[in-house]
Structure 1
Amino acid sequence: MSVPAVLFEVENGVATITLNEPKHMNALSSSIIEGLQNSIARINEDSEIRAVVLTGSGKAFCAGGDIKTFPDSRSNAAVSRNYMKFGLPFLVELAQLEKPIVAAVNGYAVGAGFSIAIACDFILASNDSTFAMSFNKVGLVPDLGALYHLPRIVGMARAKELALTGRSITPHEAKEYGIVLEVLPQEELLERAKELASTLADSATQALGLTKHILNRSYELSLEQVLREEAMAQAIAFSTDDHKEGVTSFFEKRKPVFTGN
């Protein structure tokens, strides 16, 4: 029996996605990309899932693109473009997912693996993990949204330094740059990621989704546009059961019990 390239499990409202080709350092094979696409579709369709943990098995979170499947240098641009288009939808869906995503980076997050990690909402990293925008090492351009997300996280000067040099950084450097939220011992990483995801899953899911939607677009919008987006989102939030529960629990001086509705 073949082993799935991507493992998927749900517990207490938290979906855990595990890239599961450790012999290949979880490089982005077509089977991993397909598994990620299927996992994101399941999360979108299942209202019981209210937060997500994304991690890798073995010594890597994701070691980037699968170099064995790269288009031949003699291929024309159309072939190469079609190759790239295969992997683009899952990244858009991941970044736009209206449920919080915690990346538990357990080892190497390099190239496209780094791109995937920074598309998540939070990154927790093991103290032996490594981050690198290593695309230039194989004569390529950072992709999978790296040139969108990285400057928004670290600023333009640091983004250029990381992207143009391709140098590796430690998790502690990544935390200093604002990429990583917490650095933990390897044996504590997944438990802490699930703990954070569980806290988020217990929150008002629709309000979190609306907040993510606006934050993800805030750099492209004017203040007036953000105010309008906030007003529309708030109108939706006011109508939710979770808002009613939040108000009721406030007056009853108890912790709210949100359902995601």
Structure 2
Amino acid sequence: MPENNPLIFSLDNGIATIRLNRPEVFNSVNKPLALAFQQHLRDCQADASVRAVLIIGTGRAFCAGQDLAEITGPDSPEVADIVEQHYNPLIMLIRELDKPVVAAVNGVAAGAGANIALACDIVVAKESASFIQAFSKIGLIPDSGGTYFLPRLIGMQRASALMMTGDKVSAAEAVQMGMIYKVFADETFEQDVAALVRKLAAMPTKGLAYTKQLLNSTFANDVAQQLRAEGDYQLRAGNTTDYREGVAAFIEKRQPTFTGQ
């Protein structure tokens, strides 16, 4: 794949890697990148051999958000149109993807870049990485699901402050406040990320997908509704090949071999 491609996609042993590849502009998002990103997520959904998805950046940044050069020219599209056509579909594709999605934040994640990461199922970061809700610095509001995910992750007060001030949050602070899952040392980041994604790719994919769907609905349901949903999805999980393999392996005191079915 050409080095100037805005995204580099690879599939290896069930792990689909989507690598943002505009390092000269800190992997900021323009139309070609956004549309390619969407298409790769659709392809991951359709391909049964994909068991886990990794999103990561090339170079020193994860993603600096929207490429402002795309929206400042005389014939530039409206910001609202870009949000509707580029970012909203991306967030929905991530949330609806029936595979675990890991954001490996290898550097700064700013604006929409931060919120794309927060939409993923598991977010890990380099010790030197940081997160910035940068929208207020240019007079915009947080988009790409930021006003949905961030308050649910860290609470209303902290979310309000970070969105209004645009303060930078270090990776260690992000873990402490519950924004992300883990921080990995810069020196071992790639190995640690690879181990995490390999683990997910070897797990019962349908069961993980059902868990994700339940989490998607948890804040919209009351307790009784969520209990009914759990019963429904537990029935589905109990009919999978991986459930039968997991039980057999437990009884036989061996490691299970899950196939994602």
Give TM-score scaled by structure 1 length: 0.94
The 2-side partners of 1:79 and 1:26 are apart by: 21
In the TM superposition, 1:132-151 aligns within 5 A as 132-151=132-151
Residue 193 of structure 2 aligns with an amino acid whose one-letter code is: A
SS of corresponding position for 1:220: coil
Paired position in structure 2 for 1:130: 130
Whether contact under 8 Å (1:61, 1:108) holds in the other structure is: yes
In the TM superposition, 1:62-81 aligns within 5 A as 62-70=63-71, 79-81=78-80
Whether contact under 8 Å (1:103, 1:193) holds in the other structure is: no
The 1:71/1:173 distance shift into structure 2, 3 A limit, reads: same
Paired position in structure 2 for 1:171: 171
Following TM superposition, the consecutive aligned residue runs of length 4 or more in structure 1 with deviations greater than 4 angstroms are 71-75
Deviation at 1:82, TM superposition (A): 2.3
Q: Is residue 69 of structure 2 the alignment partner of residue 85 of structure 1?
A: no
The 1-side partners of 2:84 and 2:15 are apart by: 29
Cα deviation 1:10-49 (Å, max 9, x = unaligned): 1111111100000011001111101211210111011111
Deviation at 1:148, TM superposition (A): 0.5
Whether contact under 8 Å (2:136, 2:164) holds in the other structure is: yes
Whether contact under 8 Å (1:112, 1:144) holds in the other structure is: yes
The 1:71/1:214 distance shift into structure 2, 3 A limit, reads: farther
Paired position in structure 2 for 1:106: 106
Paired position in structure 1 for 2:42: 41
Deviation at 1:2, TM superposition (A): 6.4
Q: Supply the RMSD in Å over aligned alpha carbons.
A: 1.8
SS of corresponding position for 2:211: helix
- Please list every run of 5 or more consecutive structure 1 residues that lacks an aligned counterpart in the other structure: none
Residue 128 of structure 1 aligns with an amino acid whose one-letter code is: S
Q: Is residue 237 of structure 2 the alignment partner of residue 240 of structure 1?
A: no
Paired position in structure 2 for 1:192: 192
Deviation at 1:83, TM superposition (A): 2.6
Whether contact under 8 Å (2:125, 2:184) holds in the other structure is: yes
- Please list every run of 5 or more consecutive structure 2 residues that lacks an aligned counterpart in the other structure: none
Which moves more between the two structures, 205-214 or 234-243?
234-243
Which moves more between the two structures, 133-142 or 99-108?
99-108
Whether contact under 8 Å (1:71, 1:80) holds in the other structure is: no
SS of corresponding position for 2:219: helix
Residue 85 of structure 1 aligns with an amino acid whose one-letter code is: E
Give percent identity, aligned residues only: 37
